[in-house]
Structure 1
Amino acid sequence: MEHAKIADTPVELGRLGFGASVIGNLYRVTPADEARAAVETAWESGIRYFDTAPHYGLGLSERRLGGALRGLPRDSYVISSKVGRLLVANDRPRGMDDEGFVVRDDLRRQWDFSRDGVLRSLEATLERTGLDRLDVVYLHDPDDHWRQAAEEAVPALAELRDQGVIGAIGAGMNQSAMLARFLRETAVDLVMLAGRYTLLDQSALDDVLPAARELGKAVVAVGVFNSGLLSRDHPAEGMKYDYQDAPPDLVARARAIAEVCTAHGTSLPAAAMAFPRTHPSIINVTLGMRNPEQVRRNVALHGQVIPDALWDDLRAQGLIRSDVPDGGAGRKGSRCL
């Protein structure tokens, strides 16, 4: 797989990453053998970047991902996890988690971006994964915790990075404005941008992407299907956009984009995966993959060559912003596997 280096760090990311939220039972149960097979299929397909977090399934994702990777050559893959939500004993369990994961709620999440919280979170993650180190660590959704995240968590992570304990540090969020602040005002190396540079939302062009390009820092794109609306060849009513039912105007826009994709001999999901790579600062697209079938589908979509004329037509029809860069994803960025 083609790789891109995170500037000023030893870390390189493949162009396609495995997002492990779904193997933490996001929205529905994923059997343990299916989750393991998904990771193994990703490995066999050439994927070498794997992302997880304590939040995903109250630690289940970390346990499953670590178990599946254990035994593979440690220097041959990159793994990232996150800090900001400590997992602590739940003294008032109701039976099941209420934050989207189908797991028992014997544990609960506790926001903590303090230095101590960061160190405790990392120690717990290493215990759950059974691995000896993390390559990348992100602050996870620090939207309401800017001051503590910027003044305590980032310096703690930067110290570990400078000691060689962690390879690179970043922040991951569903908004782009604060990610731009992290790039400009703190010592992070990269950001994980969720849903704000897609075929339906290019708002990151107003803040975080210019900051990344100016500073030479990297961006990992996630949520490129905007919770599902861009994941099928033919978008339909009732599909999700940003975790909610998609409004009719966005469904209509997604259908219009799909028609242009068909006219250029490709599909909406293939274009949705390729689109973030039109920006030079985006070095990786990471997708949630629940089972081997999803892995194989995503790898095949990722390998398609998207004609540059598609982006020209989408701009001309006002379906994407006129300031979206040409990128050349169809020539260079799509055949990575």
Structure 2
Amino acid sequence: MHMLPSPTETVKEALSKGIRYFDTAPHYGNGLAEERLGRALPPFRAAPPEKEKSCSKGVVRVSTKVGRYCVPETKFDKTTMKPEWRYNGTTYKDQFVTKNFHSNVCVVDYTAEGIVKNVLQSVERLVAPRLHPDSVPDYMAQLQSAVTGVSSRPLPGGRPPFDVLRLHDAEEEETFSPCVGKGGGLEALGRLKSAGVCSEVSLGMGDAVFARRLMESCEQGLIDNVMIAGVWNLLNQEGLEFLIFCQERGVKIHLASVFASGALWGGDRYNCAPMSEEIQKKVQGWRELCEKHKAALPRVALEFALLPEVVELVAIGCATVEEVRQNSALWEEDSGSTVPVSLWKEAMERGLLRKDFAQLITGLNINRN
């Protein structure tokens, strides 16, 4: 009998390796990922975040995303609710099929009202299981008052339920429009931050063009950081200009898809789809280059992701205990860089990297050997 990986054991292993930052979303498993993480994390600590800022020790930090809330499939109304593109009102097209666990479906809603509903659900899944049962009703009542603007009382303990709330996947006109302007999703996130529901406001995007448009549409200073996926890794540096834009604004980058959907670690997919012949050739080119310089490809991929100063952290997916161990081994090997400058130089000469990629990286003299 095939046993599924234990989410709780995976999280425990991550904690044992010193990992203290976890990112999730209602979209992942239609609430299932948040439920599992909420059950696996240690009790919610009420210490104000400024008291313990390190992600490598102290309090556990959690970020989640907004733009979707969950309803049971029996309550999904095709006439009033916008479904995920994978869901046709009856069945899911491919991933995130969770019928063995629950019947939830995600409703796409970037309005202020939808985001408040999203956040309240996420607290029920991610925070409530980590509170003492006797304190949950009062906590949820105060949270409800805070997010709806009824009360300005600080939440119990003084610590926001979320370290970061990210506006998720607003990457087409239909989802972009409700986010901007008066009464939009970005304004709602600003109010939630002021109410103490999150410490930082962020975007969670895979499209640098829409991410920049969102940043330009709101008051500078509202967005503290941006999680961007798939636009800055060994196979794609299209996000260079966006990273420079964020650096100039003082907005930190939280980088995802540093292994390009696993393509840089022995997988056969790229951007969540089968690899094209062009990408296969590029991956092979990186393998040959890494072998020549006696460097492990995943380690090179991780170090490349962290080269720009604007990158504050990288988000790496781990589904099993073994994947946690493999990923954590990449930074446990040593504290310094193991990738020679000559590798980056040769990568440019072979056309594996943009020739202008180093303009984002202070202190990297690409002309030296």
* TM bucket normalised to smaller: 0.7 to 0.9
Q: Alpha-carbon deviation of 1:313?
A: 2.0
How many angstroms apart in 2 are the aligned matches of 1:106 and 1:226?
30
Is residue 77 of structure 1 aligned with residue 49 of structure 2? no
Q: Deviations over 1:162-221 (max 9, x none)?
A: 233210011111111111222333221111111110100000013x21211110101111
The 8 Å contact of residues 139 and 170 in structure 1, kept in 2 or not, is answered as yes
Which residue of structure 2 aligns with residue 147 of structure 1? 177
How many angstroms apart in 2 are the aligned matches of 1:215 and 1:262?
38
Which residue of structure 1 aligns with residue 197 of structure 2? 165
The 8 Å contact of residues 80 and 138 in structure 1, kept in 2 or not, is answered as yes
Between stretches 54-63 and 100-109, larger displacement belongs to 100-109
Question: 5+ unaligned residues in a row in structure 2: which ranges?
Answer: 48-58, 77-86, 131-159, 365-369
**1:322 pairs with one of 340, 355, 360:** 355
Counterpart AA for 2:103: D
| Higher gyration radius (CA) | 2
Between stretches 88-97 and 101-110, larger displacement belongs to 88-97
Between stretches 125-134 and 45-54, larger displacement belongs to 125-134
Pick closer, same or farther for the CA change 1:55–1:134 going to 2, 3 Å: same
Q: TM-score, normalised by structure 2?
A: 0.74
Which residue of structure 1 aligns with residue 329 of structure 2? 300
How many angstroms apart in 2 are the aligned matches of 1:329 and 1:63?
43
Is residue 205 of structure 1 aligned with residue 258 of structure 2? no
Which residue of structure 2 aligns with residue 133 of structure 1? 161
CA RMSD of aligned residues (A): 2.4
In the TM superposition, 1:187-226 aligns within 5 A as: 187-206=222-241, 208-226=242-260
Q: Deviations over 1:70-125 (max 9, x none)?
A: 32646512100011011112137999754512411622111111111111110100
**2:277 pairs with one of 231, 239, 248:** 248
Pick closer, same or farther for the CA change 1:99–1:134 going to 2, 3 Å: farther
Counterpart AA for 2:161: R
Q: Which has the higher contact order (CA 8 A, sep 6+)?
A: 1
Between stretches 45-54 and 69-78, larger displacement belongs to 69-78
SS at match of 1:86: strand
Which residue of structure 2 aligns with residue 184 of structure 1? 216
Which residue of structure 1 aligns with residue 293 of structure 2? 264
SS at match of 2:201: strand
The 8 Å contact of residues 184 and 211 in structure 1, kept in 2 or not, is answered as no
Question: 5+ unaligned residues in a row in structure 1: which ranges?
Answer: 1-27, 331-337
Q: Alpha-carbon deviation of 1:302?
A: 3.0
Between stretches 128-137 and 242-251, larger displacement belongs to 128-137
**2:73 pairs with one of 90, 106, 121:** 90
Counterpart AA for 1:174: G
Q: Deviations over 1:224-281 (max 9, x none)?
A: 122221113xx7xxx1111111111211111111111122221111111221111111
Q: TM-score, normalised by structure 1?
A: 0.81
How many angstroms apart in 1 are the aligned matches of 2:189 and 2:320?
33
How many angstroms apart in 1 are the aligned matches of 2:264 and 2:70?
33
In the TM superposition, 1:42-53 aligns within 5 A as: 42-53=14-25
The 8 Å contact of residues 54 and 82 in structure 1, kept in 2 or not, is answered as yes
How many angstroms apart in 1 are the aligned matches of 2:203 and 2:45?
27
Instruction: State the identity %.
Output: 29
The 8 Å contact of residues 36 and 65 in structure 1, kept in 2 or not, is answered as yes
